[in-house]
């Protein structure tokens, strides 16, 4: 569900950056009001969780792959605004350093996964959980449904963005310049796998983490309530059990290499010129023929950025599995660094603002 470079027109990317900007701004203001050094571990651990869980690729129908996003559990613990910040940071790091998603498409991917996904998860979870106790089984059910709804709505919005490209962006002969398949292909191709498999993965991941926290660290499930009472808690020691989960996922991350194939709509520009790859694209697209040549705009913009560690394959580590673990470790370190910088800057701005004096 990471939209690569060149699949959306530059104007679509700009529009989605503009659409994401107000949410980022409000999220930043909400987080800044209660951000301190104690907040950094909370944002970091769920950004890291999102980063690592997205490395676990799952086989989907048509020979493609998908993955959970971690946006739902972040929204449940941090609230939708904190989740928007943490998941957006994870997505930006994936795009810049690992080529997972495009640089121009960071706004689109953040809008789909971090913003839409977090809001949907929050609304569904709150609607089902209601005023039940933090340890109630109803909370685990609410979390599972929230996770399932979150990723599927995000996938649907992504499919629409793919599908409208041929309607608005073609060359003089009518050939699509960017994503080549219209809504009639993009929506079912995206949704079949997400409704049937990736959504269930998000369901089990979200419900499983909530069940884990109910048994081992219920304070994280009541963290938002403590914020509302003016007592934010979020030290490294408070988040240690979630860091154990993240560490375990990093060790197990090579399991994500077992799923063969490429996620729908994430094919490399060179694959459209490869007969074998074109056949795989056609099969994944419900039999709709792949374009005979790489769409011109897609080919041009796909060269915009060369990630230093593309596809999490570390160039100086020959063993793929070890390289994947190293990438997970490196990504987590970058998450912590980025959140720490974000927290430092936000804290300075808050202290320097006239309202703080």
Which tokens sit at 355?
A: 């309202």
Which tokens sit at 169?
A: 């962006």
Query: In which residue are the tokens 């109803």 written?
Result: 138
Q: Specify the number of domains making up the chain.
A: 1
Residue 115: inside a domain, yes or no?
yes
Which pLDDT tens digit goes with each residue over 237-273?
778 899 999 999 999 999 999 998 899 999 999 999 8
Q: What span, in angstroms and rounded, lies between the C-alpha atoms of 82 and 75?
A: 7
Residues 6+ apart with CB under 8 A from 1: 66, 67, 69, 109, 112, 113, 151, 154, 155, 158, 190, 194, 263
33-72 burial code (b ≥16 CB/10 A, e <16)? ebbeeebbbbbbbbbbbbbbbbbbbbebebebbbbbbbbb
- At residue 264, the 3 state secondary structure works out as coil
Domain that holds residue 324: 10-350
Residue 5: inside a domain, yes or no?
no
**pLDDT reported for residue 22:** 98
Which tokens sit at 232?
A: 């934010």
Q: What span, in angstroms and rounded, lies between the C-alpha atoms of 290 and 272?
A: 7
**pLDDT reported for residue 228:** 59
What are φ and ψ of residue 282, in 5° steps?
-60, -45
**pLDDT reported for residue 239:** 87
Q: What span, in angstroms and rounded, lies between the C-alpha atoms of 63 and 314?
A: 25
Q: What span, in angstroms and rounded, lies between the C-alpha atoms of 128 and 146?
A: 9
What CATH code is carried by the domain that includes residue 20?
1.10.1760.20
Residue 153: inside a domain, yes or no?
yes
What are φ and ψ of residue 293, in 5° steps?
-140, 160
**pLDDT reported for residue 225:** 67
**pLDDT reported for residue 117:** 98
Residues 6+ apart with CB under 8 A from 27: 80, 81, 82, 84, 85
Residue 357: inside a domain, yes or no?
no
Element (H, E) at 53: helix 40-53
Write down the number of H helices and E strands in the chain: 14, 2
**pLDDT reported for residue 343:** 80
Residue 4: inside a domain, yes or no?
no
- Beta-carbon count within 10 A of 185 CB: 21
CB contact at 8 A, 24 and 66: no
Residue 3: inside a domain, yes or no?
no
**pLDDT reported for residue 37:** 52
Residue 319: inside a domain, yes or no?
yes
Residues 6+ apart with CB under 8 A from 345: none
Polymer length in residues for the chain: 357
What are φ and ψ of residue 176, in 5° steps?
-60, 140
Residues 6+ apart with CB under 8 A from 228: none
Residues in the chain where the model's pLDDT stays below 50: 357
Residues 6+ apart with CB under 8 A from 134: 214, 218, 221, 222
CB-based burial label for 213 (10 Å; 0-12, 13-18, 19+): buried
Residue 282: inside a domain, yes or no?
yes
């Amino acid at each position: 569900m990471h939209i690569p470079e060149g699949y959306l027109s530059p104007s679509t990317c700009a529009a989605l950056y503009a659409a994401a900007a107000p949410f980022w701004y409000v999220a930043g203001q909400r987080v800044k009001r209660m951000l301190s050094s104690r907040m950094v571990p909370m944002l970091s651990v769920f950004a890291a969780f999102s980063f690592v869980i997205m490395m676990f690729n799952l086989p989907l129908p048509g020979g493609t792959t998908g993955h959970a996003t971690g946006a739902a559990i972040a929204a449940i613990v941090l609230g939708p605004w904190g989740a928007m910040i943490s998941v957006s940071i994870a997505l930006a790091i994936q795009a810049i350093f690992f080529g997972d998603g495009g640089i121009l498409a960071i706004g689109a991917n953040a809008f789909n996964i971090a913003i839409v996904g977090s809001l949907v998860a929050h609304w569904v979870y709150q609607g089902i959980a209601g005023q039940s106790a933090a340890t109630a089984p109803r909370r685990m059910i609410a979390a599972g449904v929230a996770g399932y709804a979150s990723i599927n709505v995000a996938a649907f919005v992504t499919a629409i963005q793919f599908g409208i490209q041929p309607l608005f962006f073609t060359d003089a002969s009518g050939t699509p310049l960017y994503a080549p398949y219209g809504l009639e292909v993009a929506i079912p191709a995206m949704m079949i796998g997400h409704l049937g498999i990736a959504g269930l993965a998000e369901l089990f991941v979200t419900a499983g983490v909530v069940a884990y926290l109910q048994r081992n660290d219920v304070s994280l499930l009541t963290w938002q309530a403590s914020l509302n009472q003016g007592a934010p808690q979020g030290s490294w020691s408070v988040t240690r059990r979630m860091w154990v989960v993240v560490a375990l996922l990093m060790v197990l991350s090579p399991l994500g290499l077992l799923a063969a194939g490429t996620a729908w709509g994430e094919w490399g520009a060179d694959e459209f010129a490869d007969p074998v790859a074109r056949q795989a694209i056609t099969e994944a697209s419900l039999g709709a023929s792949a374009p005979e040549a790489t769409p011109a705009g897609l080919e041009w913009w796909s060269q915009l950025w060369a990630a230093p560690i593309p596809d999490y394959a570390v160039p100086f580590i020959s063993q793929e599995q070890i390289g994947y673990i190293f990438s997970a470790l490196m990504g987590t370190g970058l998450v912590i660094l980025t959140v720490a910088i974000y927290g430092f800057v936000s804290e300075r701005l808050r202290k320097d603002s006239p309202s703080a004096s």
